[in-house]
Amino acid sequence: MTKFNEYPFKPFLLEAVEKLGFAEPTQIQKEMMPHILKGNSAIGQSHTGTGKTHSFIIPIVERIDVSKQEVQAVISAPTRELGVQIFNELQKLVVGSGIEVKSFIGGTDKQRSINKLKTQPHIVVGTPGRLRDLVKENALLVHTGKILVIDEADLAFDLGFIEEIDQVAGKMKDDLEMYVFSATIPEKLKPFLKKYMESPIHVKVGDKRPTADGLDFYLVPVRSKKKMERLQEVMKVINPYLAIIFVNTRTNADYVAEQLAKEGIRVGRVHGDLAPRERVKMMRQIRDLEYQYIVATDLAARGIDIQGVSHVINYELPEDLEFFIHRVGRTARAGMKGLAITLFKPEEDDAIVRIEKMGIPFQQKDIVKGEFVDLKERHSRTTRVRKVDEAAEKAKTMVHKPKKVRPMYKKKMKWKMDEIKKMERRKNRKK
């Protein structure tokens, strides 16, 4: 099927999808939706920005039986923001259907979450720790649930949430269907998957083109300048709708944000150490376009969906180079164009080469008089073809080492070769 209206979805769902402006499913949606509709456990592997969320929430909504007021599907998200985003997208799909969706996010009042469960919802979205706590309290009754989605499974594993997810999964139906979505499948995650998934279907999308069309990659050397000075030069050249400046640590996020604030630039910041209330406030300010620039750690590359990002600036290369793809995937979404700018030092050349091997086509740029200008390729010296000196080559063939070596023979050979070279070059000039 090539268009959404060709799927046998319920009328309310077709209407909701049309309101979202979706005409044709993306590749991950085409591949995954049929498996979820049939109830075949599957692993969906794709990079960010491929339409992954709707590849599972659309078929799940289609399968809900409204006549049963019980938990039928559980969706686990590794971060609060991602959980909220999935919940918000689900809300758009279930309008007028009678399907009840509830979200349970860590960092909020647990008693209030328990109070929300006087009646069990059809679909539950939550962070692993909060879901586990509610199941332990016998407030959330997941034993009726047959569908479990683990979104961003590799990030959940990195954050240490697999044990909590395991405890929730263990309370669900014996014939549990599990749908795992992840950009990568770490080796250490496989034992958990084998426990619940027997010969799962593995859908892998987007290997040949790791990034979106319409995305350019500029590589800007820092050279002898301070990195902060170089960043400010870049910021003077671009005029972004919204730009994310990526750093590796909370400390660096605070440092960059404070330095830019001294220059009179108002920047938002997103990192894992923000208190829940601060994070909610920050995300609201970002959505309200109060900032043109956001300084962020890799939490924003995976766990948060920030709309309208026109530029990504890598102030630092990620420690795990796989995250480069996730970072740049924040821009050039939904058919829009984007620019990813990476600041780099000579000692990072090996890392840049490894990123290029992932399929990233860097253009090397400098900044001259407030504009980007092209630079020669980084490896132009090593790749330059050596020009053959024909006169020198001929001289080598005509002058030989004498059989009897006498004093100063090397100098005499050199004089002869120089004479032959001069004669040959004169001939070539006349030609």
Write down the pLDDT at residue 381. 43
What burial class does residue 146 get, using C-beta atoms within 10 Å of its C-beta: 0-12 exposed, 13-18 middle, 19+ buried? middle
Write down the pLDDT at residue 407. 72
- Model confidence at 19, pLDDT cuts 50, 70, 90, reads very high
Write down the pLDDT at residue 417. 78
Read off the pLDDT of each residue in 141-162 and give the average, rounded to a whole number.
91
- Model confidence at 180, pLDDT cuts 50, 70, 90, reads very high
Read off the pLDDT of each residue in 200-208 and give the average, rounded to a whole number.
79
Q: Is 214:49 a contact under the CB 8 Å cutoff?
A: no
Write down the pLDDT at residue 354. 87
Is the pLDDT at 266 greater than 50? The verdict is yes
- Model confidence at 405, pLDDT cuts 50, 70, 90, reads low
Write down the pLDDT at residue 49. 64
Is the pLDDT at 179 greater than 70? The verdict is yes
Q: 410 or 384, which is more confident?
A: 410
Regarding beta strands 363-368 and 371-374, do their DSSP bridges make them parallel or antiparallel, or are they unpaired? antiparallel
Q: What is the pLDDT of residues 304-343, one digit of tens each?
A: 778 889 999 999 999 878 788 888 988 987 678 899 999 9
Q: Which residues pair with 156 in a beta bridge?
A: none
- Model confidence at 386, pLDDT cuts 50, 70, 90, reads very low
**Measured CA distances, 82 to 90, 112, 325 (Å):** 12, 20, 18
Exposure letters 328-340 (e unless 16+ CB within 10 A, then b) = bbbbbbeeeebbb
Write down the pLDDT at residue 333. 77
Regarding beta strands 243-246 and 201-204, do their DSSP bridges make them parallel or antiparallel, or are they unpaired? unpaired
Q: What is the pLDDT of residues 29-75, one digit of tens each?
A: 999 999 999 999 999 987 666 788 999 999 999 999 999 999 999 99
- Model confidence at 430, pLDDT cuts 50, 70, 90, reads low
Write down the pLDDT at residue 374. 94
Cα–Cα distance for residue pair 60/36, rounded to 1 Å: 7
Is the pLDDT at 190 greater than 80? The verdict is yes
Q: Is 304:77 a contact under the CB 8 Å cutoff?
A: no
Write down the pLDDT at residue 227. 94
